[in-house]
Structure 1
């Protein structure tokens, strides 16, 4: 674990915000975890994925229809990640520990490894958001996401090839990045090597074998190898693109900061909550459909400030955060629509590519 810390001398802002959020739950007699609406949505998303999978295997369709359903299945898998796995991984899906665990392991159903994800996401990304060398989510191969990263000759073309990398990100995650972590024992290039419990070794291999069986062997047996492989590619590209874009719109856009560590003190010169606000941006928070599909990850600011609170509470928390930021003069970053955030991201990576 990194010895880097935050300058928490002035905690007036964080103390006020935490007090107001805690009071909100106390006054309204609410649990900070998910509710019936989340559970119904989760069932619908799981049923949708199973339905799309069954249709592709058992219902004859023209090629364009298969491609369309495969793309929908990929987006559905991403939505399961946003709404079920992500909440379970943060222990915010339910008050019941066992239900959070099951929800978190839905990532393994998609071919990923929750054991790795919790270390990389919950610890590295959520603690040291946008800090080079510590937040491994901004270390994207062949992409320059902030000015402190070295500029390579190929970065000048990243505005043209970004969509390829985002599209293959899910497939690369399942078949390359997880194995890279497994055999190196590291969550990132600069991370420390960690041993893996025997139980996690067994789960890792069961996950990968299960993924190949469900997403490749069964479809090849049912519909033939060429349609199965093409369908798998469409599903993977659709899922990967959805996952990558949502992350980028929250952290790699104009206005978000990439703070450096003070070489003398070893500290990041911001209080932790202020750091989260300076490195994270919201988008399209007035769009209920976007919020529903993304599991509230368009309220990324509220999520980073309170990762153990379920996204079903973000609209209410959002008002408290904005009020407190205004009172203390803290900058609150957001884009009105997803389209605006997307264009901001493209401008950001274009400028970093040519600089």
Structure 2
């Protein structure tokens, strides 16, 4: 992950983005797509019901591991809807979007208010070395300065972070749950009473269902597989978007268009990848137009790419495997100096 050099093009003001915005609006790509979202609501509800119905029917069986894996996929799809609601992609009304966001967050045991605040800070300054919370992760380093500052066990993890990346993602789900609980407990979210009640209701319902149907050992394995795979899926959906892309050094400022495009990476793959990554594979378009409905992102992509090419703005796009290769290569390179000095 290299830092962005502030060249002559980066000093230009917002006229480029204004021009691109006009093109996007002329194509109607910021119009709501409520029918598309209602279909997603129905499909997700059917999948969630099918998953828990299968859980109840199977009972005390090791086949529940397959149910846990299936529900990890469903929970991530629910998280994608919560993400879209947070960006007001679904409805024009903020209140209506927040209702959907709180509902979907409660189904997966997350604090909607905590996540939204963190995610908005990321969108405001993606890959900014001081201001993006998504690259301030205690057990990973994305710049040489971050790696050098690690100490103790975390320093050892950073040395081998490329190898440990996917295993560490199994803890991502637990981290999301705990961060939400901590934010609510400290009253760092506006609707902390509502969010607290939703988190308690989720935990009580989830644990009661699992331990009612399964004996203790089966229940613990089910929870570990479900939450672990959910964390991996969530991490694999968000990691390709910015990790390994250039960072913005402290004190440096770019115009909005370049700040969003130069730090983001798209993932090719068609409708299958669109579904699996919840539209986040169009990360450049999403960052430029956060409230654009998910179904419109694929139509905006060629317009944005053509605009960037005409204006000499680097536009990064690769395959799904290529994106993970870039992420892991970057993590390996950042950990290299620590591996060379581990005996000193």
TM-score by length of 2: 0.87
Whether the 8 Å contact between 2:30 and 2:291 is mirrored in structure 1 is: no
| Alignment partner, residue 56 of structure 2 | 57
Query: Secondary structure at 1:334's aligned position in 2?
Result: strand
The 5 A counterparts of 1:1-355 are: 9-25=12-28, 32-60=31-59, 62-63=61-62, 65-82=63-80, 84-105=81-102, 106-122=104-120, 124-151=121-148, 152=150, 153-154=155-156, 155-174=158-177, 176-183=178-185, 196-197=189-190, 200-253=191-244, 256-262=245-251, 268-284=252-268, 286-335=269-318, 337-355=319-337
Secondary structure of the 1:130 match is: coil
Asked whether the equivalents of residues 60 and 213 of structure 2 are also in contact (C-alpha less than 8 Å), the reply is: no
Report the alpha carbon displacement of residue 79 of structure 1 after superposing the two structures with TM.
Answer: 1.3
8 A Cα contact 1:13 1:324, kept in partner: no
RMSD over aligned Cα, in angstroms? 2.1
Residue segments in structure 2 that go unaligned for 5+ positions in a row: 1-5, 338-344
Check conservation: 2:60, 2:214, Cα contact below 8 A.
no
**How far is the alpha carbon of 1:99 from its aligned partner?**
3.7
Q: Residue deviations 1:129-188, cap 9 Å, x none?
A: 1112311111122111233314333111112221222111111210x2223434556xxx
Distance, in Å, in 2 between the alignment partners of 1:98 and 1:115 is: 13
- Does structure 2 conserve the Cα–Cα contact (< 8 Å) formed by 1:145 and 1:349? yes
Flag as ranges the 4+ runs of structure 1 deviating above 4 A: 6-9
Name the stretch that deviates more: 317-326 or 38-47.
Answer: 38-47
User: What is the total number of aligned residue pairs between the two structures?
Assistant: 322
Per-residue deviation at 1:110?
0.9
* SS at structure 2 position matched to 1:230: helix
Deviation for aligned residue 1:228 = 1.8
Shift of 1:56: 1.0
1:144 to 1:33, Cα distance in 2 relative to 1, 3 A: same
On the 8 A contact 1:216/1:229 being kept in 2, the answer is no
User: Aligned partners of 1:111 and 1:43: how far apart in 2?
Assistant: 20
Q: Which runs of 5+ in 1 are unaligned?
A: 1-5, 186-194, 263-267
CA distance in 2, matches of 1:321, 1:90: 20
| CA distance, structure 2, for counterparts of residue 184 and residue 158 of structure 1 | 31
- TM-score, normalised by the number of residues in structure 1: 0.85
Deviations 1:247-274 (A, max 9, x none): 1100103xx1110132xxxxx3311110
- Asked whether the 8 Å contact 1:16–1:324 carries over to 2, the reply is no
Give the Cα–Cα distance (whole angstroms) in 1 for the partners of residues 135 and 208 of structure 2.
Answer: 34
**Matched position secondary structure for 1:143:** coil
Contact 1:169-1:240 within 8 A present in 2 as well? yes
